[in-house]
A and B are shown apart, each in its own frame.
Chain A
């Protein structure tokens, strides 16, 4: 239904109030210098880029791109997943001459990127977390990382640190990416002690500080002594948990400055490596694959340095497991395994390795997780 036409745009220009505007606009354009760069790369964030979380992880990637020669970076934060982001993308293309865009929030993909991309075939759109499939515009790509493995490693340090054998997880929404993280966190801890259980609380929103604090306090009240999370900005969870005396595992970015004593480790995105690679490919005139995935081995994710509270035994098992994962083909979900309602999710001998696409539609919590997906 949406229409594109350059002819009618010209009509509009001729007939509208914008008449005098075009001339004035060029004289006002402080961005002319931007056009001199070989490639302008635009980053769009759904929240503040210093949120100690999802957006900061991407902004760290943007900072690495900024340091590359021949590249200009433009950034915009707090852009809602509405027509706003469509306008921001077009604004970066029209006013900044962007040739590569990273609209980083999940909700930007469908319909917004898919709407704007066909109008700008010369611009490359790269999206985190989306599932690019055949038939979608070819100038769109989606990339993501197997960060569940990071939560699994988090779980190992949690399993060693917990005394109550109860660990906690503050989660945003019961969607596949989050469920995989929760399950991985518990299964990591159960590598240390199969008695451990994990209490999960869903806040229902990606960024809702008050509920995140309440959830963290509720977990601490129930005796959870290691807490992690999957929300956009883990700052509140980490600070609240540490204030309650619990150990914490990070997510998205490195939160150790928020709780230096209590921070065990964290599952971090390593977008700096991914983004500089992609930008270099563009600068070299190459093409980026439309569907890109990677894990620890490919440098898509990384672990925060182990904190002072991590014991030697913990460190040893952490490093050993990490080495196993780096070899590739590691499976966290492997049979025999049941979900927390008693249904079989993996028969004996069956396993789902990290690259298995089936994991991207996960809809269960494994046995030992206390909580419900609905």
Chain B
């Protein structure tokens, strides 16, 4: 004991040592991102295209002018919610990939509730629609958690298959009971009145409130996971279910609660799609955001705060896809290839944690 006290480093270097893992958690993904882009540059060179032009266009289309920011940020909202639907269950060790289903049903629920609320005060109407959308999303993904806990059904497969059921249900209701007879060639629910449409934020570019609510949701999810006992219990259960059960943690409630919360967020994505973008529910709700959300969550390593910048970056990539098609004569899948390469390099970088000397306190003369 006396040995450790005498060799103990100064207060400043203790703080430094504490920060090392955090620096590591930022530097490694960033390096992986750059590494991925570098690998992709080789791919471009092989095709005879200039990487400089390519990344220049991404900057131009996604991040240069107010319109570029509008193009990028207007795509972010559903990605934030969809990523939370993956990240929250992931803290319990569950891989849920069927957020798409909750998004689609959330959009349907919001639009259908909206048609019943015509004439209601705007705030009340929107609140009911949002709660309905979150509720159906929570039920849908919560059911996946319930099946996992009660019946041991694999949550990955179950959530994916339930997404197909959700889409089929949405099609059935939109083309059947809730179809607006005036929607001839594109079956839709009745159009929402202006008072039940979510508007844009007053920031000068056309980005609807879903962005702000999505960011807020990410922050709240981070607080829940990192700053509450519930989140702590969830992380324990995620690391070792048996140990958690032995400790008397309510594993079942945690599993169902976290999946339901993730589903509720995905449902909100549907609410904003129906209310801010489409003004009705129809087949266009099936836009694949639930699947892009998986990529966002994994890139963010299931950290809700990291989801925000990652979603913005990915949205910027997708915003630039069109300009790249038009200017460089590359197919639209180019951006997907780039995202795929970045994803693979990032997964590979997971193996680097704890293996790079500079992130080890010993490297700086301290003791591990």
Report the minimal beta-carbon distance from A20 to chain B, rounded to whole angstroms. Answer: 9
With contacts A18-B66, A76-B332, A83-B75 taken as known, whether A95 is within 8 angstroms of B204 at the C-beta atoms is: no
Report the minimal beta-carbon distance from B367 to chain A, rounded to whole angstroms. Answer: 42
With contacts A82-B277, A83-B277 taken as known, whether A5 is within 8 angstroms of B199 at the C-beta atoms is: no
Contacting residues, chain B, for A3 (C-beta < 8 A): 199-200, 202, 206
Of the listed stretches B25-33, B113-121, B322-330, chain A binds: B322-330
Report the minimal beta-carbon distance from A7 to chain B, rounded to whole angstroms. Answer: 8
Contacting residues, chain A, for B69 (C-beta < 8 A): 12, 16-18
Contacting residues, chain A, for B200 (C-beta < 8 A): 1-3
Report B62-77 CB contacts with A as 1/0, cut-off 8 Å. 0111111111001100
A residues 158-180 near B (Cβ < 8 Å) are: 173-177
CB pair A176–B75 under 8 Å, yes or no, is: no
Report A192-229 CB contacts with B as 1/0, cut-off 8 Å. 00000000000011000000000000000000000000
CB pair A21–B64 under 8 Å, yes or no, is: yes
- Closest residue of chain B to A20, judged by CB? B64
CB pair A79–B322 under 8 Å, yes or no, is: yes
CB pair B283–A107 under 8 Å, yes or no, is: yes
CB pair A18–B64 under 8 Å, yes or no, is: yes
Cα separation A9 to B282 with both chains bound (whole Å): 32
Cα separation A28 to B184 with both chains bound (whole Å): 45
CB pair A374–B332 under 8 Å, yes or no, is: no
CB pair B184–A360 under 8 Å, yes or no, is: yes
Residue A11 interfacial (CB < 8 Å)? yes
Of the listed stretches B53-61, B94-102, B357-365, chain A binds: B53-61
Which of A8, A74, A111 interacts with B204 by CB under 8 Å? A8
Report the minimal beta-carbon distance from B250 to chain A, rounded to whole angstroms. Answer: 39
| Total contacting residues, chain A, CB less than 8 A | 59
B residues 318-346 near A (Cβ < 8 Å) are: 318-319, 322-323, 325-327, 331-333
Which of B194, B197, B284, B327 interacts with A80 by CB under 8 Å? B284
Which of B74, B175, B202, B279 interacts with A83 by CB under 8 Å? B74
Cα separation A30 to B327 with both chains bound (whole Å): 8
Residue A348 interfacial (CB < 8 Å)? no
B residues 254-295 near A (Cβ < 8 Å) are: 273, 277-279, 282-284, 287-288
Residue A96 interfacial (CB < 8 Å)? yes
Contacting residues, chain A, for B205 (C-beta < 8 A): 9, 12
Contacting residues, chain A, for B67 (C-beta < 8 A): 90-91, 94
Contacting residues, chain B, for A25 (C-beta < 8 A): 59-60, 64-65, 68
Contacting residues, chain A, for B184 (C-beta < 8 A): 131, 175-176, 360-361
Residue B47 interfacial (CB < 8 Å)? no
Report the minimal beta-carbon distance from B282 to chain A, rounded to whole angstroms. Answer: 8
Cα separation A76 to B184 with both chains bound (whole Å): 27
Cα separation A95 to B57 with both chains bound (whole Å): 11
CB pair A87–B64 under 8 Å, yes or no, is: no
Residue A61 interfacial (CB < 8 Å)? no
B residues 179-232 near A (Cβ < 8 Å) are: 184-187, 194, 197-200, 202-206
Contacting residues, chain A, for B176 (C-beta < 8 A): 374
A residues 3-55 near B (Cβ < 8 Å) are: 3-5, 7-13, 16-18, 21-22, 24-25, 28-31
Residue B171 interfacial (CB < 8 Å)? yes
A residues 68-107 near B (Cβ < 8 Å) are: 74-84, 86-88, 90-92, 94-96, 106-107
- Seed contacts A17-B63, A78-B332; 7 additional CB < 8 Å A-B pairs: A1-B199, A2-B200, A17-B69, A22-B64, A30-B327, A88-B322, A175-B185
